[in-house]
Amino acid sequence: MSDKTFYITTPIYYVNGDPHMGHVYCTVSCDVLARFKRLDGFRTHFLTGTDEHGLKVYQSARDKDMSPQEVTDLHSQNFRDLQPLFNLSNDDFIRTTEDRHKKGAQALWSKLEEAGDIYLDSYAGWYAVRDEAYYNEDELYDDEKGVKRAHASGAEVKWVEEESYFFKLSEWQDRLLEFYEQHPDFIHPSSSKNEIISFVKGGLKDLSISRTTFDWGVPVPGNEKHVMYVWIDALANYMTALGYPEKTDLFNTFWPADIHMVGKEITRFHCVYWPAFLMSAGLSTPKAVFGHGWMTVEGEKMSKSVGNVITPQTLIDRYGLDPARFILLRIAPFGNDCDFSHETAVNLINAELANGLGNLAQRTLSMIIKNCDEQIGARDNLTLEDEALLSQAYQMLEGVRVEFDAVRLHKGMEIIWKVVSAANGYIDSQAPWALKKTDIARMKVVLSVLSEVIRCLGLIIQPIMPDSGGKILDQLKVPEDQRSFEYLSPNHALSENITIDPPQGVFPRLVEEDAA
């Protein structure tokens, strides 16, 4: 068993509504990274789940005339159903209403209490249910109707006054600044990093961490009149899913997490509160938090009232599973805000999948079927062009590894599609269809070089498009146990004289109506 480990998490999703494309965007990006690491020899753990307590979920149940438990059971299942729909490889799915979680969240609370970082007082201030967040006066504005809202999100805030436990966050300012200094790779991207550091430098107030006006939450140990503030409860999921407070094998192997993938609006919770809680509890801190941007649709934020919500099922119905996974990551540089346009999606899928990779595999393999007795030929007397293309294919892994490690998923994909373009350029310049009439032996070499490059491409696209990568490798008769990245090298090149299967189109072209 490998001693290299990788633990990646999505945020846990609120269960006050159904999953949409924004949620899938985040989860698929984690799935791609998790699959990449598994194929690259890392023992990997990939966690997702649902955030089920708090006022927001409680109120949404009340609005639907359901009990909070009914509403959470229903919506949590809808998030869980994304696993087969998007072919997600998560190793676990945690719900914060599970006993294993509640027990762990309470244990974390007790640790903070033992450290002397919790005290009882009363809270008077502004609270936004939509964000489940407290705001200072200077973070608010009055809208045209005089409703007070938070600048950060536009969410309405209400005045709250109640008895509350507090976490002594104010005492963590210097230690947090020191922590960021010592861990320069903790916050990504750098724009979020600057924002977080200046927020902390601006001074931290103690944080209210319990509520008494409703009971839909994890009871505070020793004072069950209080439930924990939903964020302390929620953040604990990353450890409770590993068995915390028990020091299980899973916990010892995977904690601290390598990457918490989150949307940019919740980086503050992950980069300020979470390391402070962990340091206070004497636990190690995650290695990195990556705050990605938001996805809008045709220029507008997805919203039910605008009517532009793209459901996960719509994505699959329109494009098919693997093209849908591909397009989520390809539509814009990963991490930035990005706009989803159906027309751009169709154009990219046609250009890069159908005409790019699909056509390359189809052209090459059907020529082998027709002209080489279905057999991969020898690769001898290689020309400089042959060598150049092969070495570009073998070198691709190192480049993609660097980019994926830095969560520049789009850059990694660029490297892969450079090889696709180079191979399509090579097929055009070598013109094996012309060689058929003039130099059959050379034609066989060209097709064999191309098959080997297609094998490398089939291997490396597996994290992004697992089924399509698998189909390409099936056609080339690559055994199931030779599909990890250690096989992406000349030492494991396709054997000569293997007989391949007739190719089947891996990426169908989308027709114009699909762009409607």
Chain residues in the site for ligand MSP (CB under 6 A): 11-14, 22-23, 25-26, 51, 234-235, 237, 262-263, 265-266, 294-295, 302
| For ligand MSP, the closer CB: 217 or 458 | 217
Q: CA-CA distance, 414 to 98, in Å (whole number)?
A: 41
Tell me the two tokens of residue 185: 């790779």
Distance linking the first and last C-alpha atoms of the chain: 49
Q: Which of these, 453, 436, 457, lies nearest to 386 by C-alpha position?
A: 453
- Strands (E) in 37-117, as ranges, are 43-51, 92-95
225 near 254, Cβ under 8 Å? no
SS3 category, 404: helix
**To the nearest whole angstrom, how small is the minimum distance from the Cβ of residue 240 to ligand MSP?**
11
CA atoms within 13 A on the CB side of 187: 25
For 64-94, b/e burial (b = at least 16 CB within 10 A) is eeeebeebbeebbeebbebeeebbbbbbebb
Tokens 């130099």 belong to: 439
The H or E element containing residue 36 is helix 21-39
Q: CA-CA distance, 368 to 447, in Å (whole number)?
A: 7
**To the nearest whole angstrom, how small is the minimum distance from the Cβ of residue 235 to ligand MSP?**
5
| For ligand MSP, the closer CB: 40 or 132 | 132
Query: CA 475, 477, 478, 481 torsion: positive or negative?
Result: positive
For 497-509, b/e burial (b = at least 16 CB within 10 A) is eeebeebeebbee
**To the nearest whole angstrom, how small is the minimum distance from the Cβ of residue 234 to ligand MSP?**
4
SS3 category, 30: helix
| For ligand MSP, the closer CB: 196 or 367 | 196
**To the nearest whole angstrom, how small is the minimum distance from the Cβ of residue 469 to ligand MSP?**
26
| For ligand MSP, the closer CB: 228 or 457 | 228
Residue type, 219: P
| For ligand MSP, the closer CB: 111 or 268 | 268
SS3 category, 146: coil
**To the nearest whole angstrom, how small is the minimum distance from the Cβ of residue 261 to ligand MSP?**
8
Q: CA-CA distance, 504 to 309, in Å (whole number)?
A: 34
| For ligand MSP, the closer CB: 14 or 487 | 14
Backbone angles phi, psi at 357, to 5 degrees: -70, -40
Question: Taking the CB of residue 290, how many other CB atoms lie within 10 A of it?
Answer: 24
**To the nearest whole angstrom, how small is the minimum distance from the Cβ of residue 412 to ligand MSP?**
20
**To the nearest whole angstrom, how small is the minimum distance from the Cβ of residue 271 to ligand MSP?**
12
Tell me the two tokens of residue 392: 């570009």
| For ligand MSP, the closer CB: 240 or 475 | 240
| For ligand MSP, the closer CB: 219 or 263 | 263
| For ligand MSP, the closer CB: 193 or 264 | 264
Q: CA-CA distance, 473 to 482, in Å (whole number)?
A: 10
**To the nearest whole angstrom, how small is the minimum distance from the Cβ of residue 428 to ligand MSP?**
39
**To the nearest whole angstrom, how small is the minimum distance from the Cβ of residue 18 to ligand MSP?**
11
**To the nearest whole angstrom, how small is the minimum distance from the Cβ of residue 192 to ligand MSP?**
12
The residue sitting closest to ligand MSP, measured at its beta carbon, is: 263
Tell me the two tokens of residue 492: 């494991």
| For ligand MSP, the closer CB: 187 or 390 | 187
